[in-house]
Structures are given as structure tokens and as C-alpha cells.
Structure 1
Amino acid sequence: MKSNTHIANNVNEAKYKSRSVATSHWMILLARLGYAMKGVVYLVIGWLAVMLAIGQGGKATDQSGAIQTINNFPFGKFLLVVVAIGLLGFALWSFIQALFDTEGKGSDAKGIIGRLGYAIVGVSYAVLGYATFQIVAGTGSGGKNSTTSAQDWTAVLLKQPFGPFLVVLVGIVVLGLACYLFSKAYSAKFQSRLNLSELSAQMKKVMINLGRLGYAALGVVFAIIGIFLMVAAFQHNASKAVGLDGALKDLAHQPFGLFLLAIVALGLIAYGVYSFVEARYRRLGR
């Protein structure tokens, strides 16, 4: 009995120590850098989309395209090193959110799904951060764009038994994520994660509205991605699937498309700025 108690105490002590390391001062600083670098990426995506919408060059691109664009900036390689460190830091923090439940999601079914979402985000930003380092080292080009990746894994799923059903299921999940983002934009509950007490009421309103506009823009993008996954499933055609870059391109081809693209692009810029707000004011390490 004493042995079991001793083991349990050791396990609890190990959990406490590992959590303390995971939410240490330096880890929090790295996470804040991660939020800021995520903001840089979305600012570039949004700016390029705005330029496309107003006929001043630009392009519809995604995270990997933004990284390649940054590489062409003056001192681009140096900037990419900082961006890569930040993205990997954001990935690591996402894993910490999933493992140690720093956001208080809980261990019920809903909480597990939320924490799994953080883990998926962590994987995606780890891949992006690694691809960024490859560009810096000259050993890679930044990886595939999101539309090509979406088409590749859609093709893999379609070849499986019940493949179209699996793609529809993924499409439903993506549409569910879009609805979640719209809900987040409408309710503005995300403000509870921010410590804005030192700001004036007017500045708080600006910060919150940036987040609302940003989440709404992301909701539009994911809704388009989800719809095209459905189309790919029903037509059994993986080439119909799109990623972020493909969603923006499709938006531009709709009636009043350039106007709609400009609005969504401004929303993505707002999300980029809001990511800097999170970098400074988000409560981390509960």
C-alpha cells in the first residue's frame, strides 16, 4: 500500500515538474514570439491578397507562400530564422496546450476534441517551421502549397474503402470549424483569454474587433475549403479540393469576387494584427 502511495506521489511530482518546465518563463516568451510570427505570416498573406484585389500585383497564397515571399525581403534569410524559431515555438506551445490543458478544456469528450485540435495545429506549424529552416539552409523550397497538399491527401482518401464518405466526413469537420470560427467572431468570447486591463475602453474595443474580423475571415476561408471537399467527394475528383490559396483564388472568381477578396484579405490582415495582440496580452501558462 505504501509502495503504491510512493509511486503515485512520484508520478504527481513528475507531472508537476514537467508542467513547471512547460510553462516556464522562457517557454512563455517563446510562445509569445510564436504568436507574433504567426501574425507576420498572416499579414503577408492578407497584404498579397489585397494587392491582388486592387490590381496592384499580389497573389492568392498560403502560409508556405508567405514564407517564400518573406525570403525575398531585404535581409530575408535573417527574418526567416526569426520566423522559423517563432513558428516552432508556437508549435511547441500548441503541444503544451494539448498535453497540459493550459486552456482548461477538461478531459470530457468536448475537452479532448479541443485539445486534439491544439495538437493538430502544433503539427501544422512544426511542419511550416521546419520548411522555413529548409529555405534558410538552402535545402528546400518551403514545401507544397496548401491546395496541392489538400488534393494529394484527398486523392489518398478517395482510394480507400468508403473513400468519398471519408472525404465528406473531413469536409463536415472543416465546415464545423468554420462555424466555430464564425461563432467566435460573433460572441467575442476569446477576449476572456486576453489581459487587457491596462488598456483604455476604446483600445480594448479596437483589439476585440480586430479579433472578430480576423476570425470571421478565417471562417469564410474554411467554409470554402469545406465546400470544395464536399464537391471533391461527390464528384470523386481530388483536383476539386483546395487549401487557403485555392480558397482565395476561388473567391476572386465569384461575382463581385475582387470586392469579396478584398474584404477577406483585410480580415486576414486583422487576424495578423490580432496575433500580435495575443503575443502581448494573451494569458499563457494557466
Structure 2
Amino acid sequence: MDLRAMARTGRLEGRRAARGSVTRGAARAGLSARGVIYLLIGVLALRIGFGDGGHQADRQGALAEISREPFGSVLLWALGIGLVGMAVWRLSEAAFGSVGPDGRKATKRLTALARCVFYAFVAASVMSFAAGSGDGGGSSDEQSRDVTARVLGMPAGQWIVGVAAAGIVVAGVWIGVRAVRRDYHDHLRLGAMSPKVRRLVDVTGVGGGAARGVVFAAAGAFALRAAVEYRPDRAKGLDDTLRWFAGTPFGPWLLVLVAGGVVLFGLFSFALARWRRV
């Protein structure tokens, strides 16, 4: 190999290393930011379950809680920047593929692109809230009803909402099943954990993932009902979905159980930020 080829190879390896370092940093920041949001939503839901119903257990409620803390504005900006990191990480996966043998598949890349768009929207809403020019994306309940009403008003809107809702239900079930099967092990650097830490991560991964799946499936079921009955007011966002658990025959304790799982998922996100392979 001549000197010119060696120099070119060195530059390429340097770019890959730099890109890998940036991607790892963006992923860790994004997963940490997601953990903060889920942790706060879970805590707010726990407070509702224990009788303090004057809180909104969704992203807007979490942002409002942060804003009331000392240096709340700084914390909100840090959260928004972290979510930008999540979007950058997912964009990198869409462009270059993710880790794993099937990381370059088209389906994986399209999923990563969809996640990139979602987290870019969430980051923008958080930063808008931090700047005082937005409401954090608005109440999840209002958003769900508004979007459902607009889509139902479109040609074949009932079918569109129904198919999308069924997809959310299936996604929720799949999230829960994958968590119980501990499929997340495929993405973790298990060798870097002690046995005790691995057990703790499994508690958060299984419990948190199962609770997240249950909430997704329940929200999808409400959207499906809204489509079948052609009533957008039947759709529920995260806050109303969580409150619904308290109205079941199991009472507030079911909400407390699910909310505890949401807290666990927030903690699991922190574990992913530390040990996930990127």
C-alpha cells in the first residue's frame, strides 16, 4: 500500500471514529433525556394514584413540573438538547444502519427515520416550552382527540384511524412481549455489568417495558373504539389513559402498579444510556 492510500485509509478511519463518538454521545444524551421524561410522568401518575389528582401525567405535565424547579429553564433547555441528540442518533441509524447483523435492513432504517422525525418534533416542542413560546406540544389528551377528529373527517378516515389504532395495540403488545423476553439484551454490553447490576437492569427492563407496552396497547384500544363508534372524544392521550386504570375494578392500585412500571422504564432508559451498544 502506497503512502497516498495509507493516508486515505487513515482519514476514513478517523472519520468513522469521530462519527462513532458523536453518535454515542448523542445516544446517551437522548436516552437520558427520555429517562427524565418517563420518570417524571411515572411520578406524576403515582401521585394521581395516591389521590393527588391535580397533575397531568404526560409530557406537558412533566415539563411544567421541571419549569417550577430552581433553574427550571436551564433544565428544560438541557432536556431539549438531549432530545436533539436522540434525533441525531436515530438519523445516523437511518443513514448508516444500526448495530447488529440486521442493522442495515431497509425496515430498520425506515423505523429509525420515523423515530428521528418523532424526537425532532418532541425536541422542538420542549425547546419552545423552555423559550416560553409554546406549551410543550399541548395536552396529550387534546392532541389525541384533535388528530382523531381531523382524520375521521377525511375520506376513509374511519378506516385510517382504525388501522393506525390496531397498529398501536399490536405495537404495545410487541413492546411488552419483547421486554418480558429480555430482547433488549441484544443491545446491551452485558459483559460490562456485574451480576448484581445486570439483575437490577433486568428489573427495570422487564417491568418498565411491560408497563410501557400495556399503556401503548390501552391507548390504541381507545383509538380503535373511537374509530368504530366514529366518536373522536373516545380517543385518549397518555394522561387520560393512565387515569383510566384507576377507574377499573382494581381501583387506584392498578394505576399505581402501571405508574411504577413507567418509573422503571425511566430508570431503564438511564441504564441504556450507560450500557447500550451504539
TM-score normalised by L of structure 2: 0.89
CA distance in 2: counterparts of 1:149 and 1:21, whole angstroms: 41
- How far, CA to CA, are the matches of 1:104 and 1:200 in structure 2? 23
Equivalent residue, structure 2, for 1:245: 239
Task: Verify the 8 A CA contact 2:59 2:136 in the aligned structure 1.
Answer: no
Taking structure 1 as reference, are residues 35 and 225 closer, same or farther at Cα in structure 2, changes over 3 Å only?
Answer: same
Would you say 1:86 and 2:82 are equivalent positions? Answer: yes
How many Å separate the matches in 2 of 1:68 and 1:213? 26
Match of 1:162 in 2: 156
Per the alignment, residue 64 of structure 2 pairs with 68
Pairwise CA RMSD of aligned residues?
Answer: 2.3
Query: Who is 1:31 aligned against?
Result: 27
Task: Write the deviation string for residues 210-237 of structure 1: whole angstroms up to 9, x where unpaired.
Answer: 1111110111111111111111111101
After superposition, the Cα gap between the structure-2 partners of 1:265 and 1:231, relative to the gap in structure 1 and judged at 3 Å, is same
CA distance in 2, matches of 1:252, 1:186: 24
Amino acid in structure 1 at the alignment position of 2:38: Y
Percent of counterpart pairs with the same letter? Answer: 34
Structure-2 separation of matches of 1:218 and 1:251: 13
4+ residue stretches of structure 1 with deviation over 6 A? none
1:117 equivalent in alignment to 2:111: yes
Contact 1:53 1:262 (C-alpha < 8 Å) held by counterparts: yes
1:91-136 deviation digits (Å, cap 9, x = unpaired): 121222223221447489xx54443333222222211211121122
Please tell me whether residue 257 in structure 1 is matched to residue 251 in structure 2: yes
Question: Contact 1:207–1:277 (CA<8 Å) still a contact in 2?
Answer: yes
Quick check: 1:232 aligned with 2:226?
yes
Contact 1:60 1:248 in 2 (8 A): no
Q: Structure 2 regions of 5+ residues with no counterpart?
A: 1-8
TM-superposed CA distance for 1:178, in Å, is 0.8
The Cα shift of 1:85 comes to 0.4
Query: Structure 1 pair 105/119, CA: closer, same or farther in 2 (3 Å)?
Result: farther
Spell out, residue by residue over 1:223-279, the C-alpha distance to the aligned partner (whole angstroms, 9 max, x if none).
Answer: 111111111111101111112112112122212231111011111110000101011
Distance 2:271 2:74 in 1: 24
Contact conserved, 2:97 with 2:108, CA < 8 A, in 1?
Answer: no
106 and 251 in structure 1: CA distance in 2 versus 1, 3 angstrom threshold: same
Q: CA deviation at 1:46?
A: 0.4
Q: Secondary structure at the match of 1:24?
A: helix
Partner of 1:205: 199
Q: 2:46 is matched with which residue? A: 50
Task: From the superposition, tell whether residues 220 and 102 of structure 1 become closer, same or farther in structure 2 (CA, over 3 Å).
Answer: same
Residues 115, 150 of structure 1: alpha-carbon distance in 2 compared, 3 angstrom cutoff = farther
Could you tell me how far 1:39 is from its partner in structure 2?
0.4
Residues 105 and 112 in structure 1, CA contact (< 8 A), matched pair in contact too: no
Matched positions, count: 268
Aligned residue number for residue 136 of structure 2: 142
- Unmatched 5+ stretches in structure 1: 1-12
Query: Secondary structure in 2 aligned to 1:233?
Result: helix
Alpha-carbon spacing, 1:205–1:115, altered in 2? closer, same or farther (3 Å): same
Q: Distance in 1 between matches of 2:24 and 2:171?
A: 27
